[in-house]
């Protein structure tokens, strides 16, 4: 069984990006610049944003992190986004989700200039993804495609089951896997909370992408011999024996699933690292597009 190691696959992507930023610096040019906005102090969001900023540094990107209080007025956030939209030295803008309840997430996403929307969440970019046009692929699905590419996992003609229909992962992943792209051309079933016979649907899958946020949801009996298992789950579960007081759990029961699987992503150390690789690649794309136009 092959462990789809995110450390290995993301290191390969980041090495290419680092070579690109070094070449830019040698040529006396500025490097791609990601601006991240974090509202409030959700523990998981803090960790993710800190990791995104650290990875920018490691690959020679510029980054700016703006922190806003949880009770900030919506228009203050929108104004910050507009400021970044208008700043030619910012290539990519990211607003970490989820946002506090009083802020309209859709309005925030629609305020980001689509050409700087490196999360690929803007409706214009989602529309382009659906139509197979060049766009920013949301970072987690993009990271999964990069993972499949790195480990040469064949997808053409396979039965893929995606569990979870979020705008961030499940929905775009289902569209990409069904698209006519190198890591696509699957027959896709998108399962969600109202799906009946979910277990038997999964048991027929050649590829399972679990993105529902329920620890150990995918059990051994749902994994067909030879299936490829992509675990997107990153739920924090209490663990008094750990220093932080919690552990990260995936959506897949790794021990059970590994019995039948031909390949599986670990948690942590799998898809999470690829999400950052996808985000960095999108930021480089935004930079390149801005410098070609
Ligand atoms: N929250 C969870 N995943 C993501 C992501 O990929 N981008 C942003 N902006 N927020 C998230």
pLDDT digits (tens, 9 = 90+) for 98-127: 999 999 999 999 999 999 999 999 999 999
Question: Which pLDDT value is given to residue 291?
Answer: 87
**Given the residues 14, 96, 249, 281, the one annotated as active site:** 96
Determine the residue of 53, 119, 125, 282 to mutate for testing ligand 1's pocket, defined as the one with the most ligand atoms within 8 A of the Cβ atom.
119
Label each residue of the chain as H, E or C. Answer: CEECCHHHHHHHHHHHHHHHHHHHHHCCCCCCEEEEEEECCCHHHHHHHHHHHHHHHHCCCEEEEEEECCCCCHHHHHHHHHHHHHCCCCCEEEECCCCCCCCCHHHHHHHCCHHHECCCCCHHHHHHHHCCCCCCCCHHHHHHHHHHHHCCCCCCCCEEEEECCCCCCHHHHHHHHHCCCCCCCCEEEEECCCCCCHHHHHCCCCEEEECCCCCCCECHHHCCCCCEEEECCCEEEECCCCCCCEEEECCECHHHHHHHCCEECCCCCCHHHHHHHHHHHHHHHHHHHHHHC
User: Of how many residues is the chain composed?
Assistant: 293
Domain 139-272: CATH class, spelled out? alpha beta
Q: Say yes or no: CB of residue 99 within 6 Å of ligand 1.
A: no
pLDDT digits (tens, 9 = 90+) for 262-290: 999 999 999 999 999 999 999 999 999 99
> Are the CB atoms for 260 and 226 separated by under 8 Å?
yes
pLDDT digits (tens, 9 = 90+) for 63-90: 999 999 999 999 999 999 999 999 999 9
Active-site annotation holds for 119: yes
pLDDT digits (tens, 9 = 90+) for 194-253: 999 999 999 999 999 999 999 999 999 999 999 999 999 999 999 999 999 999 999 999
Active-site annotation holds for 52: yes
* Per-residue confidence band for 293, with pLDDT thresholds at 50, 70 and 90: low
Ligand 1 center–CA 139 separation, angstroms:
8
The CATH 3.40.50.10860 portion of the chain extends over: 28-113
Ligand 1 center–CA 26 separation, angstroms:
33
Q: Over 90: is that where the pLDDT of 292 sits?
A: no
Q: Does domain 28-113 have CATH number 3.40.50.10860?
A: yes
Extract the tokens encoding 249.
């759990």
The CATH 3.40.50.720 portion of the chain extends over: 139-272
Ligand 1 center–CA 226 separation, angstroms:
31
Q: Tell the residue nearest (CA) to atom 2 of ligand 1.
A: 97
* Per-residue confidence band for 2, with pLDDT thresholds at 50, 70 and 90: very high
Mean pLDDT of 154-160: 98
Q: Say yes or no: CB of residue 168 within 6 Å of ligand 1.
A: yes
Q: Tell the residue nearest (CA) to atom 6 of ligand 1.
A: 139
């Amino acid at each position: 069984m092959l462990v789809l190691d995110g450390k290995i696959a993301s290191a390969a992507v980041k090495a290419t990006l680092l070579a690109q930023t070094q070449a830019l610096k040698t040529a006396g040019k500025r490097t791609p610049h990601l601006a991240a906005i974090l509202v409030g102090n959700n523990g998981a969001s803090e960790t993710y944003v800190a990791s995104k900023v650290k990875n920018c540094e490691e690959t020679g990107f510029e980054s700016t992190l703006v922190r806003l209080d949880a009770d900030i007025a919506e228009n203050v956030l929108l104004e910050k986004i507009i400021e970044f939209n208008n700043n030619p030295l910012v290539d990519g803008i990211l607003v970490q989700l989820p946002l506090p309840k009083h802020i309209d997430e859709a309005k925030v996403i629609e305020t980001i200039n689509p050409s700087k929307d490196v999360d690929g969440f803007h409706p214009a970019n989602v529309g382009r993804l659906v139509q197979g046009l060049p766009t920013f692929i949301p970072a987690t699905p993009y990271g999964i495609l990069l993972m499949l590419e790195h480990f040469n996992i064949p997808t053409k003609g396979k039965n893929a089951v995606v569990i979870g229909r979020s705008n961030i992962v499940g929905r775009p992943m289902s569209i990409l896997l069904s698209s006519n792209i190198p890591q696509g051309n699957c027959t896709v079933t998108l399962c969600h909370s109202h799906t009946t016979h979910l277990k038997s649907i999964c048991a027929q899958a050649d590829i399972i992408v679990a993105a529902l946020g329920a620890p150990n949801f995918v059990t051994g009996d749902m994994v067909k011999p030879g299936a490829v298992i992509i675990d997107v789950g990153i739920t924090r579960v209490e663990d008094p024996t750990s220093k932080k007081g919690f552990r990260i759990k995936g959506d897949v029961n790794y021990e059970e699933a590994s019995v039948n699987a031909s390949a599986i992503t670990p948690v942590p150390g799998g898809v999470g690292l690829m999400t950052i690789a996808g985000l960095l690649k999108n930021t480089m794309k935004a930079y390149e597009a801005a410098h070609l136009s």
